Structure 1
Amino acid sequence: MSRSKCIVLAVALLIGQTAVLSGLSLAAGTETNVVEQWFKDSGLGWLKGLHFKADFRLRYQGEWWEYTDSDDREQDNDRHRGRIRVRFGFTKRYKDDGLTVGFRLASGSSDDPTSTNQTLEGNFSKKPVWIDLAYVEYSPPVLPGVTLAGGKVKNPFVHTDIIWDSDVNMDGLYQSFELENGAFRPFITLGEMFLDENKMDTDHDSGVLAGQVGMKLKVALFSVNLAATYYDFDEFERNYRGSHGNAVGDDGVLAAGDFDVFDVVAQLGTKVADIPIKVVVDYAVNTAEDARGESEFEGKDTAMAAHLKVGKCKKKHDWEVNYKYAYIEANAVPGDFCDSDFGHANRKGHKLSVGYQPFKKASLHLTGFWTQPNNLLKGQESHDHYTIQADLKVKF
């Protein structure tokens, strides 16, 4: 018998065995046990607990700048781009041991933690993918609510994008504990993150130490999530990737001097006529800001935001509307990591988006940003920045 016929026969037997076992288990009312036993007997038991997840986004992005030049003349620039995003990964859970391993690849740039976008350019050149997540989590079965994790991990903190862009995944360790106590669930999260090794003639590595305390509460139709976090960005002022709106001194060091950010987030969720509604407010202050002699930026240490979301694109014919107002001063938060679509730090303005899901696994979204600089040096030109994003998102 030829090799191709053997393969066809093996596949047919595998499908037939699965169908017979499933039929027998359904008739006996023990589908789960029979299928699990079949996986063990067939040598495919390692697939149990393995979960794949992927998504693709196609985007048109248009940007417009309006400003007044040094001769007091009105000027404008524009930019139009086609962009894609693809992410593919898996998690493998070992339930009895309390272990979970996660891995994900994503498009984007290796030196930009705030974006997984790939611009369509380069004369049809191939597009790269990068390791976006690679971590292990341990939740001891004897200690419910405890999680220890390390690697390139998802952001474990309750946050908004005035500090952390949604694409930022952290490098390091975290420990969390949530008291599973019905409607009231207090929690604490600690993080020790790596930013960079020795650079720019400093003897110290750059990193982030963070501690968060908070609570989740459900009362009738309302859910509340409150969290207070302290982030200590050690040596970041000398090891930043780009200023991204942060003020920079003549010596190349960020003018803030240091970033020790205290952040408070409050989230309120409910449903009206079965439509989900979510309100989020965030207030952050850099408690270590000293402006280092840059008087124009002295005291520019505060960031705040308010979000409103109505509806949610989850299944066919769902819709959603999102609005955000944000105000981020020049020395408030590290510009490297906050919302890149909004313009990073030292911006204020609005974001409005609408979404509709015409298909089971695909949705359409239209988003607009209108932002402008928050703090300006003497003689620096102000400009309004307008961005339009039209997205097709597909999950598979």
Structure 2
Amino acid sequence: MHPTSSDAWHYLNTTKGEKKMKRTKICVLAVLCCVGLYLCLPGSASANLVLQDFIDGMELSGDLRIRYEYKEKDVDNEDPTDRMRQRFRLGMKWNNPGENWKIAAGLATGGSDATSTNDTLSDGSFFETGDIRLDYAYAEHKMNNFKFIAGQQKNPFQTTWALWDSDVRPAGFTATMDLKPAFVTAGWYDVYYADNDMAQMEAIQAGLKTDIITGALAFYNFHDDAPEIMGDFLTKEKFGRKTTDEDGNTVYVIDYMDPDYSYQIIDLYLKADIKTDMLKISPHAQIFYNIGAEGEEGQSLLSGEQKNGADLLDPEEENLGYLLGVKASIDKIKLGVEYASIGADACVPLLKDSDWGSALQYVDVEGFKLGLGYALTKHCELNATAYLYEAKERDIDQDPKTYHIDMVYKF
């Protein structure tokens, strides 16, 4: 009896699933073995875990976050979304003080998106297990006040979620000079690779940082123009003009923007930390302006929608974004109130915060982010966050809302 096409298809899917599960199990087992070995060492050894004679121990840190998420918007025949998600991160550092080098690497749950390390529980199958991915890996060399970092790294710039999601890990090279209280940070980064070419970003930030006040001025230059940078990157998320390909499939293309359009963002960041014995208040602000947003009415990034007034957006008028906020902590309680307004062409939409604005294509949005937290113990806390926003210029009356309830344990 010969196998049918459906049998072959089932075999291929089963094989792919088994391979994926096998890779996941191997990654998880490797992580657990490392953690188990570290925890099983006696106290004196765990403080000085020697891997090579020139390595002065290995440091482990990380966190686990369990999240309930509820999302809704005013759209007929569309049910709200509620789901459980988790995030696990493990960071490792190897120090070589004799040569002033440090190697660091991190593992995290989630997919390939730069702005999320969340894993949705039981997504698609009963008690589905999550994947572990490389979150970052870099080498760091320090000479007096100068520091050089090579690889995929944590964001080295002073910023907020309005411009950069906290999960984004820039990949490239960074140099910093700490002149206390002044500092300078500069870098070159490989943003996106497609069609045998790289979209690049050069960045520089200079500022002052004291115990009370931080102020920094930055410039981010995305090297190629927007259609080349965004191409596949944005159309995957359904930016652009809706059309069909040769096979009749729905696709989204960006062919309506000015050829001189680019992302060249000037950014000003300010923060103050006011502390007393029981209270800490941190007012902060950020304003950024994309001087590379060239074009006329109808040539905005979002103009491909051709509805809700998106076709009337002018990139040279929608290139400003700002955030105003204050955070406070009183004993075990944390509070936060932030208001942001982000123009359609003010920043790269898929690099800013992925929760605030996601239901309205990330940009051309304005509204609030509200937070409340309570420390259960020294390392464990409960947090609640609300994202309340609306379209800034487009005529979209949906009023999306997202709510998070998190339990976080840090180690």
- Normalising by the residue count of structure 2, what TM-score does the alignment of the two structures yield? 0.75
Q: Hey, what's the Cα distance between the residues in 1 that align with 2:69 and 2:256? A: 31
Moved more, 362-371 or 254-263: 254-263
In 2 relative to 1, CA 43–81 (structure 1 residues): closer, same or farther, beyond 3 Å? closer
Listed as ranges, the matches of 1:147-226 within 5 Å are 147-180=147-180, 185-199=181-195, 205-218=198-211, 223-226=212-215
Structure 1 residues 324 and 39, CA, compared in 2 at 3 Å: closer, same or farther?
closer
Structure-1 residue corresponding to 2:73: 65
1:223-242 aligned within 5 A: 223-235=212-224, 237=226, 238-240=228-230, 241-242=233-234
After superposition, where does 1:286-325 map in structure 2 within 5 Å?
286-291=290-295, 293-294=297-298, 296-298=312-314, 299-311=317-329, 318-325=332-339
Q: Counterpart amino acid of 2:289?
A: V
Are 1:382 and 2:397 matched, yes or no?
yes
* Partner residue in 2 for 1:8: none
Instruction: Sort the Cα spacing of 1:212 and 1:153 in 2 relative to 1 into closer, same or farther, 3 A.
Output: same
Q: 1:207: how far off?
A: 1.0
1:107-156 residue CA offsets vs partner (Å, 9 max, x unmatched): 0111x10010001112123211111010000002xxx2101011011111
Moved more, 171-180 or 228-237: 228-237
Partner Cα separation in structure 2 for residue 297 and residue 88 of structure 1: 43
Residue type of the alignment partner of 2:313 = F
Q: Given the superposition, is the C-alpha separation of residues 381 and 309 from structure 1 closer, same or farther in structure 2, using an over 3 Å criterion?
A: closer
Structure 2: any 5+ residue segments left out of the alignment? 1-39, 243-252, 300-311
Distance 1:190 1:210 in 2: 6
Structure 1 residue 197, shift from structure 2 partner: 2.5
What is aligned with 1:25? none
Inter-CA distance 39–262: structure 2 relative to 1 (3 Å threshold): closer
Task: Return the index of the structure with the highest Cα Rg.
Answer: 1
2:352 corresponding residue in structure 1: 338
Matched residue type, 1:297: L
Checking the alignment, whether the CA contact within 8 Å between 1:170 and 1:193 is kept in structure 2 is: yes
Give the letter for the 1:387 counterpart.
T
Distance in 2 between the 1:369 and 1:171 partners? 29
- Secondary structure at the aligned position of 1:163 is classed as coil
> Any idea what the Cα deviations from partners look like across 1:62-95, whole Å, max 9, x if unmatched?
001014xxxxxx6664110100000012111212
User: In the superposition, relative to structure 1, how do residues 235 and 382 fare at CA in structure 2: closer, same or farther (>3 Å)?
Assistant: farther
- The CA distance in 2 between the partners of 1:265 and 1:197, in whole Å, is 29
CA distance 1:358–1:365, shift in 2 (3 Å) = same
Q: Using the TM superposition, give the Cα deviation of residue 246 of structure 1 relative to its aligned residue in structure 2, in angstroms.
A: 10
Q: Deviations over 1:340-364 (max 9, x none)?
A: 1102322111011111111232110
The aligned counterpart of 2:84 is 82
Change (3 A) 1:236 1:129: farther
Q: Using the TM superposition, give the Cα deviation of residue 276 of structure 1 relative to its aligned residue in structure 2, in angstroms.
A: 1.4
Q: Secondary structure at the match of 1:239?
A: helix
Distance change >3 Å, CA 254–CA 319, structure 1 → 2? farther
Counting only pairs closer than 5 Å after superposition, residues 203-282 of structure 1 correspond to structure 2 as: 205-218=198-211, 223-235=212-224, 237=226, 238-240=228-230, 241-242=233-234, 248=240, 252-253=254-255, 255=257, 257-282=261-286
Please give the alpha-carbon distance, in whole angstroms, between the structure 2 residues aligned to 1:309 and 1:187.
Answer: 24
Quick one: structure 1 residues 234 and 253, their matched pair in 2 at CA, closer, same or farther if it must change by over 3 Å? farther
Q: 2:110 is aligned with what amino acid?
A: G
C-alpha contact 1:291 1:297 (8 A) present in aligned 2: no
Q: Report the AA paired with residue 293 of structure 2.
A: E
2:400 aligned partner, one-letter code:
H
Which amino acid letter does the alignment assign opposite residue 114 of structure 1? T
Judging changes above 3 Å, is the alpha-carbon distance between structure 1 residues 231 and 189 closer, same or farther for their aligned structure 2 residues?
same
Task: Tell me the CA shift for residue 98 of structure 1.
Answer: 1.1
With over 3 angstroms needed to count, the CA separation of the structure-2 counterparts of 1:76 and 1:122, relative to structure 1, is closer
**Alpha-carbon shift at residue 57 of structure 1 (Å):** 0.4
Question: How far 1:239 moved relative to its partner?
Answer: 2.9
Q: In the aligned structure 1, how far is the partner of 2:82 from the partner of 2:257?
A: 33
Residue 307 to residue 39, structure 1, CA distance change in 2 (3 Å): closer
Deviation at 1:291? 3.3
Q: What is the CA–CA distance in structure 2 between the aligned matches of 1:39 and 1:248, rounded to whole Å?
A: 54
Q: Which residue identity is paired with 2:298?
A: E
User: What's the TM-score, normalizing by structure 1?
Assistant: 0.78
In structure 2, what is the equivalent of residue 350 of structure 1?
368
